[in-house]
A and B are shown apart, each in its own frame.
Chain A
Amino acid sequence: MSKQVPETIKKQVKRSFNSKEVKKEKNEKRMKLLKEIQTKAFKRAEKYEKEYLEQEQKLVELKQQALKEGSFYREPEPKLAFIIRIRGIVGVPPKPRKILQLLRLRRIYSGVFIRLNKSSLRMLHFIDPYVTWGYPDVETVRALIYKRGHARVNHQRKIIDSNEMIYDKLQKFDIVCMEDLVHEIYTVGKNFKHANSFLWAFKLKPPVGGFSTVKKSFVNKGEHGNREQYINTLVKKMI
């Protein structure tokens, strides 16, 4: 007996939004878009590598020049900081508690990027005993975003598993791939706010080898507060 397809089903398939042809078209479009994104990603990554290298070299040059002239080269103040909360939830007074909330540092060993300006520095001042922070370099930013970068998609925390995810959300800010994201964060570009809020707060592991004492500041051989470039070694232990 030949299998007869009911007419209602036939009609349904014809009318269907998800019919084979429509699906095929959509898929083709998507594949094309993905290819575009990947080619863009390649080119931009190349560009950024050059840029970072140039930056480094420029810095060295300027320092050397200053030495030659017998003066000093004052490096530009850092624009980007990475904050890690190193104290738990219990017994935090209201003001630091609120500031930690605002910075999305809601749990211990969570980390966020923040742009440094007068306002944010004052915020950091209040929460110094509860966090450690410093100035991350490119490799730290990269490692964080690649390994522990989760996106905020539809009020959910989803791991970034392809550039398509970034394209969907940040295309209007001309950020289409991971390297774009890294660049925007590291150089604190025009769309830093959007790039940063796209990222969920980083959930880091407790540091390998432990802390000395969180109660003291880094300056006093403890752990909290500003530790400038040493944040990079710490993140390596916590990532």
Chain B
Amino acid sequence: MTTQQLRPIVSVFPIKGKVKTIKQVPLPSVFSAPIRPDVVRFVHTNMAKNNRQAHAVSTTAGEQTSATSWGTGRAVARIPRVKGSGTGRSGQAAFGNMCRGGRMYAPKKVWRKWHRKINTNQKRYAVCSAIAATAVTPLVMSRGHRVNKLPELPLVVSDQLQSLTKTRQAVKFLKFIGAYRDVEKVIRTKKTRVGQGKYRNRRHVLRKGPMVVYARNLGIKKAFRNIPGVETASVYTLNLLKLAPGSQMGRFIIWTESAFKLLEDIYGSWEKPSKFKSGFYLPRPVMVNTDVERIIKSDQVQTVLRNRRPRSRKYGKKIQRADPYEDMSVMVKLNPYYKTKLQKQKELEEKNKKERKEIVDKSRKEYEDWLYFSEEEEEEEEEEEEEGSDEDREIEVLSDEN
């Protein structure tokens, strides 16, 4: 909430000559009112209903028959049917909303509630928001106004504007200040209305151009009256429907200097009430500092926070891992001793193999030795045989028999 001293400065421009600052005025407090699109939308939708004209369907429409139902047993629907004969109309269904020529469902009545009451404070809130939005360039641009060539937004112009009488002067001024592009847009996009309004005296549709707000009408109203898209308004009676057409905030407004200054009196501030709206103070925002990121990142907050917990590995990625019996690196990671174990096993195997081999060799050698010696003995025996006597032979024979 700004105090008088802290209010920014806005330049005032002349209406002809050179586009440069001739004066500087402080920004009225209204422009720092909270911008509430929800409030504006609510108020606008209800306010827009207030210029409606009652309409209804004739009370007798569809009822001007003496139709009666034929009842059951006649192989026809039980809807009331027109009495009599001799005409095509007789026997036709009547009265129902589904019937041709029948009365409509829930015939419209003039005593429908056409207008809406809106709380005064809400209305004022919406207007304050809408006025504040007219100073926010992005909002004005997003509403569709061509404001690139303007020297400044909000655009404040000297009071001489209020004394203009000729449309030519008005157009010259708009071109001078850079606002004519918006008017050109309006002219360019004038179209025949879509729908039945075109033959109900609402033939053409125009965009909204700049709005000129004055404090005193010294001819300005008539000067700007015929320029397509341009509207004029007294600062005392700013209309939300004009400030936020279609409940879209950010109308392009050209203020005269005195109108601009009067805004401070008309809408007041947070400390001083309005001079014209009794007891009205500017609406207070819900949050004074809306830069939440900056608040969170500030030292005052950050130093009091606890440390960030390490990212929970609770639902981490699924770990893939090879089969340790197929991938040696995985095996060694799990059991660093494994390689040594294999080595030792290998060594042991080889040792056993060697031992076994020795044993086998040894026993084979023994066998061969035994075989060799037994061969020698046989040979010796054979030799002895040849040399031997009959007696020996006999003995041998006997022994052979044995």
Contact = CB atoms under 8 A, between A and B. Distances in A.
Contacts of B337: 41-42, 45-46, 49, 179
B319 A146 contact: no
A8 interface: yes
Given A146-B324, A146-B325, A158-B319, A17 B307 contact: yes
A167 B315 CA distance: 20
A39 B313 CA distance: 26
Nearest to B313: A154
B47 interface: no
Contacts of B325: 143, 146-147
B380 interface: no
A147 B334 contact: no
Interface string A195-234: 0000000000000000000000000000000000000000
Interface in B302-323: 302-303, 307-308, 313-315, 319-321, 323
Interface in A121-150: 143, 146-147
A177 B307 CA distance: 32
Contacts of A179: 335, 337
Contacts of B335: 41, 45, 146, 177-179
A132 B95 CA distance: 84
A12 B340 contact: no
Contact of B321 (A42, A49, A161): A161
Nearest to B338: A45
Interface in B371-397: none
B336 A41 contact: yes
Interface residues of A, number: 27
Nearest to A160: B334
Contacts of B341: 45, 49
A145 B340 CA distance: 20
A65 interface: no
Interface string B280-300: 000000000000001001010
Given A146-B324, A147-B323, A163 B307 contact: no
Contacts of B331: 146
Q: Which of A146, A156, A162 has the most C-beta atoms of chain B within 10 angstroms of its own C-beta?
A: A146
Given A146-B334, A161-B319, A15 B340 contact: no
B336 A12 contact: no
A15 B334 contact: no
B74 interface: no
Interface of A is mostly: helix
A49 B337 CA distance: 10
A154 B335 CA distance: 24
B314 A154 contact: yes
A11 B336 contact: no
A10 B201 CA distance: 65
A18 B308 contact: yes
Given A146-B325, A159-B319, A8 B297 contact: yes
Interface string A6-47: 001001100101100000000000000000001101100110
Contacts of A17: 307-308
A159 B330 CA distance: 12
B354 to A, nearest CB: 20
A8 B294 CA distance: 8
Contacts of A8: 294, 297
Contacts of B319: 158-159, 161
B333 interface: yes
Contacts of B330: 161
A146 B320 CA distance: 14
A183 B355 CA distance: 32
A12 B323 CA distance: 44
Contacts of A154: 313-314
Given A154-B314, A159-B319, A161-B319, A147 B336 contact: no
Contacts of A147: 323-325
A12 B302 contact: yes
Contact of B340 (A39, A46, A162): A46
Given A147-B323, A147-B324, A161-B321, A15 B302 contact: yes
20 contacts: A11-B297, A12-B297, A15-B303, A17-B307, A18-B308, A42-B336, A45-B336, A45-B341, A46-B337, A49-B341, A146-B334, A147-B324, A154-B313, A156-B315, A159-B320, A160-B334, A161-B319, A161-B321, A162-B334, A163-B334
Interface of A: 8, 11-12, 15, 17-18, 38-39, 41-42, 45-46, 49, 143, 146-147, 154, 156, 158-163, 177-179
Closest 10 CB pairs of A and B: A45-B337, A161-B321, A17-B307, A42-B336, A8-B297, A178-B334, A146-B324, A42-B337, A17-B308, A161-B319
